[in-house]
Each structure stands twice: as C-alpha cells, then as structure tokens.
Amino acid sequence: MADASAPASTEVLRLAGVRKSFGVGTPREVEVLHGVDLVLQRGEFCALIGPSGSGKSTMLNLIGLLDRPTAGTLFIEGQDTRTLDDAALTRLRGRNIGFVFQHHHLIGAFTAAENVMMPLLLDRRRPDAAMRRIAEGLLDRVGLLPWKDSRVGNLSGGQQQRVAIARALAMYPPLVLADEPTGNLDTKSADGVFDLLREMNQTSRTTFLIVTHDPRLAQRCDRIIEVVDGRIVADGAVPAPRRIAAS
C-alpha cells in the first residue's frame, strides 16, 4: 500500500487517502470511496475488479481527472492535482491520460484517422501533417490503416474499439484508463482487443488500468486490484504461470 510521501519518479499515479462523497451537505450524503491509497508504476498492466456499485467507476473518474475527490490527494506524473483549476486539469488530463470506454464513444462526424487525431487537435488547435502521420501510424498498429478514411459508423464494433484504443494512445500518455473495453464485444473480438492493449503496454511502456468483470481477462494482467464497498481489499501481482494459462 502507498503512503502520502513525495512520489517517486517512476510513479505514474498516486492516490493517497482519497475519499469521494456524493450529495455533500445534504441529508442524502453518501461516501462511496473511503480513503483509497494506490500507486501505479510506469509500464504496469493492471486490472481493477470488483462487484457493481463497489466504486470502481468513481475511482476511474477521479483518476481520469473527470471528477475531484472530496478528500485526499491525487498525483499524476508527480503533479498534485488538488490546486489545479478546471483549465489546468483539462490540460493535464488531455496530455497524460488516455481513455477507452466500454462503448467506443468515437465522434461519428469524423473518420477513423480524424478520431485518432482528435486529442492532438484539441491540444495543438490546428491539424498538421505530423498529427496525420501519428494517427496513421497508430491505425497501422491496430491494423486499421486501410480504414483510415472510413466514417467510424461504417466500422464493426471490434474495429471501432481498436480505433478508440489508437485514439487513447495518440498523445503517447503515460496512463491509459480502460472501462470495460471488451464488455461490448464477442469473445473473439474481446481477445483481439485485449491482446492489442497488452501489446501497446509492452511496446510503449504505457501504464494501463483496466476495469473488467471478466476474471479470465483480469488473470491475464500483471496486477489485480480488487475494490469492494469503496475500499481496496486486495492488490497483488498475478503469478506468471496463471497469466500464461489464462491467455
């Protein structure tokens, strides 16, 4: 378990005593995270598991800087996020965190390549040739270069999720958060997408935190963090033989 001392340089994420309550100041105030401590190192490939309503999604929203903790501190790449305003949080999020959702959540008005370019475009304001090269390179890595000019609505579910993975990696972020990335896919597509995440993790040393309900996929990760009732109840490495067996 982590403590609140200064984060080490290989740390991508550190949560220290993070609490989250909803309905603060109202009679219906409820705390869903009760002092969570967590450290993720560069290049880790972690599964976040737990029953529905255990606080996984809330934790993911906090780590993704989409929401703020009620108490505790959250460091991204050593940066304390408590004092940051909305614009600074948005910038930090855009540059350091990639998202993959259960539903691909691509922007339907754009092509596959343009969707991959989107985080770069938001950061740099205007499109340029370098962005296109990055997007095409990532689409090539996820095996979708021939579909780069296709509208995302014309792609299959598995292909859309691959585009979403490429998009999550467009800024080469140190941390990618994946919320049930294979939850909406058939087994074959799910395995393909998971393999892709793993490959990206190994080739780019990007840290992945993957929320999943699938124990088989969780066993294929390096580390499993289990959350129950807003607390981390188990956090440990998966032995290599089990990983191989699961895959």
| Closest to another protein by CB, 2 or 168 | 168
Beta-ladder partners of 19? 71
Among 19, 34, 95, 223, indicate the residue that binds another protein (CB under 8 A).
95
Chain positions 104 to 143 lying near another protein, rule: CB under 8 A, are: 105-110, 114, 117-119, 121-123, 125-129
**86 belongs to the binding site for another protein (CB under 8 A):** yes
Question: What are the residues whose beta carbons fall under 8 Å from the beta carbon of 53, sequence distance 6 or more?
Answer: none
Least distance from C-beta 4 to another protein, angstroms?
25
Tokens, residue 105: 């959540």
| Closest to another protein by CB, 183 or 222 | 183
Asked whether the beta carbons of 43 and 13 are under 8 A apart, the reply is: no
Strands 97-100 and 175-179: parallel
**93 belongs to the binding site for another protein (CB under 8 A):** yes
**84 belongs to the binding site for another protein (CB under 8 A):** no
Q: Using the rule CB under 8 A, give the single segment among 90-98, 136-144, 196-204, 206-214 that binds another protein.
A: 90-98
Q: Cα dist. 168→24, 104, 158, 225 in Å?
A: 33, 11, 15, 22
Q: How far is CA 116 from the centre of its chain?
A: 16
Q: How many CB atoms lie within 10 A of CB 202?
A: 11
| Closest to another protein by CB, 75 or 99 | 99
Q: Using the rule CB under 8 A, give the single segment among 3-11, 25-33, 93-101, 137-145 that binds another protein.
A: 93-101
Alpha-carbon distance of 17 to 9, in angstroms, equals 20
Tokens, residue 152: 């995302």
**91 belongs to the binding site for another protein (CB under 8 A):** yes
| Closest to another protein by CB, 67 or 191 | 67
N-term to C-term CA, the chain = 28
Closest CA to 212 of 232, 200, 227: 227
Number of residues in contact with another protein under rule CB under 8 A:
33
Whose tokens are 């475009």? That residue is: 121
Among 17, 35, 43, 64, indicate the residue that binds another protein (CB under 8 A).
64
Alpha-carbon distance of 187 to 243, in angstroms, equals 18
Chain positions 165 to 194 lying near another protein, rule: CB under 8 A, are: 167, 171
| Closest to another protein by CB, 122 or 233 | 122
Residues found near another protein in the complex (CB under 8 A): 61, 64, 66-67, 86-87, 90-91, 93-95, 99, 101, 105-110, 114, 117-119, 121-123, 125-129, 167, 171
